[in-house]
Structure 1
Amino acid sequence: MFRRRNPRSYARTAAEAVWPRGGWARAITYMKHRLRRLPDPPERIARGVMAGVIVCFTPLFGLHFVLAALLAKLLRGNIPAAILGTFFGNPLTYVPIAYVALETGHLILRSRPGAEPHGALREAFEAAGSDLWTNVRSVFAGGHAQWDGLVQFWGDVFFPWLVGGMAPGIACGIACYYVTLPTVAAYQKARRARLSRKVAKLAAKRMPE
């Protein structure tokens, strides 16, 4: 009943994950609309959004939904709101998030990657991916495992990002909490007022002359 008439191909699904149909502005507007209509108190919804935003500042890609749900449960927030909050991390924001997290992490750890931040990030991801594929293939086809790229990725990218993403992630999450709370509260109040007016009009129509 709820299936698409024309199912999307894998290529289309991947493309829309990077650039949604209608652009990110339309996607963000849709997410804001869904967020305001969640059936929960504004405080729980805002805590859920905060959890999702905090998780966006971690390098644990592929686990953001799960981690956001767990953090929202810990904070007694709304889990669907937390999942929507993870969309704060998207192709338009991941570059500044990565830069801030890496710079903060290396500052805290008093370390420095062997190249410029953007170059080190790209090269470390490529080397780690190559080593990971080689190691997986060596399990089935034999051969020697390669760890240099993974070691560099851990030291230059993953661990500094994990450490450095905490403070800006929490700060951004708290800011989003204080933006979401009054927005959702005002929307829910206006929605209740509209429903009350509709009920009053229906009641007035049913009253005998």
Structure 2
Amino acid sequence: MVFKRRDRQPIWKRMLRALWPKGGWGRAARYVQHRLHRLPDPPERIARGIFAGVFTTFTPFYGLHFVIAGLLALVLRGNVLAALLATFFGNPLTYLPIGMVSLQTGYWLLGVDRDPETHHGLARAFSQAGHDLWENIAALFTRAEADWTGLSIFYQEVFYPYLVGGILPGIITALVCYYLSVPLIRAYQNRRRGILKAKFAALKAKKKQADGGSAAD
């Protein structure tokens, strides 16, 4: 095929790229910031989209963040593309602290006593839950017997506390991002509008000067 990569990357390299993109997460963050600033909507609408995307990263619905952020942006009348871009607030560098804060808050709100050391197995718990879910779904089409015990324990000890606990820190973080984004986006749009206006004025003056020279000839 014409557009197929000639140097096909091994799986470990592609996994590494997912955890650490080319140029680092700092460069990826600057790219997202640049795209957000260039969106044509009013600053408040873009910021509402950012609110939706950032808040969504505090939910335990991994794999559905794009969908949830887009739907929430529609409900809040925010920019959907801004919401999708803002979900990059959740990345391999931030998911662990987000999960720890959400779980600890959930345990506190639910009055559950848990050892903070169990948070370090968060990724493993979600991975195991995904594996169990897949096996139980496959069991519906085979002779294997479905066992929902592990998923039940996961829901009670991890998923539900995460879901409840992520609401408060999610709202607080999303509000901070909202109020920081509005003036920054407005300033960027005003500066860009001024640059475009100056360029248009320069082109208009140049055209006028050219027309004047042609008339004199």
Is the TM value for this pair above 0.5?
A: yes
- What residue is the counterpart of 1:75 in the other structure? 76
Conservation of the 8 A alpha-carbon contact between 2:132 and 2:150: yes
The answer to whether 1:6 aligns with 2:13 is no
Structure 1 residue 200, shift from structure 2 partner: 1.0
Q: Hey, what does 1:150 align to over in structure 2?
A: 151
Distance 1:115 1:143, change over 3 A: farther
Give the distance between the partners of 2:92 and 2:37, measured in 1 at CA.
24
Q: Residue in 2 aligned with 1:62?
A: 63
**Alignment map for 1:100-115 (pairs within 5 Å):** 100-113=101-114
CA distance in 1, matches of 2:10, 2:69: 25
Larger radius of gyration: 2
Determine the structure 1 residue equivalent to 2:20: 19
Residue 95 of structure 2 is matched in structure 1 by: 94
Q: Distance in 1 between matches of 2:76 and 2:3?
A: 36
How many residues are matched?
Answer: 207
Identity of aligned residues (%): 51
How many Å apart are 1:23 and its aligned residue? 1.1
TM-align CA RMSD:
2.2
Q: Which residue of 2 aligns with 1:30?
A: 31
2:53/2:85 contact within 8 Å kept: yes
For residues 10 and 109 of structure 1, do their structure 2 counterparts lie closer, same or farther at Cα, with a shift above 3 Å needed? farther
1:120 and 1:62 map into 2 onto residues whose CA distance is 19
CA 1:110/1:4 → structure 2, altered by over 3 Å: closer, same or farther? farther
CA–CA distance in structure 1, aligned partners of residues 133 and 121 of structure 2: 18
Q: Which residue of 1 aligns with 2:40?
A: 39
Partners of 1:124 and 1:114 lie apart in 2 by 15
Q: Within the alignment, does 1:191 sit opposite 2:192 as a pair?
A: yes
Distance in structure 2 (CA, Å) of the matches to 1:63 and 1:10 = 27
**Structure 1: which amino acid aligns with 2:162?**
W
Cα deviation 1:41-98 (Å, max 9, x = unaligned): 1110011001100011000011111111111111111000000111100011101100
Q: For residue 132 of structure 1, what is the aligned residue in structure 2?
A: 133
Q: Report the 3-state secondary structure (helix = DSSP H, G, I; strand = E; otherwise coil) of the residue aligned with 2:92.
A: coil
Q: Determine helix, strand or coil for the equivalent of 2:141.
A: helix
Q: Which amino acid aligns with 2:204?
A: A
Shift of 1:149: 1.4
Contact 1:113 1:120 in 2 (8 A): no
Displacement of 1:118: 2.2
- Is the Cα contact below 8 Å between 1:45 and 1:77 reproduced in 2? yes
TM-score of the two chains, using structure 2 as the length reference: 0.86
Distance 1:197 1:119 in 2: 55
* 8 Å Cα contact 1:99/1:117 also seen in 2: no
Unmatched runs of 5 consecutive residues or more in structure 1: none
User: Structure 2 regions of 5+ residues with no counterpart?
Assistant: none
- The 8 Å contact of residues 112 and 156 in structure 1, kept in 2 or not, is answered as no
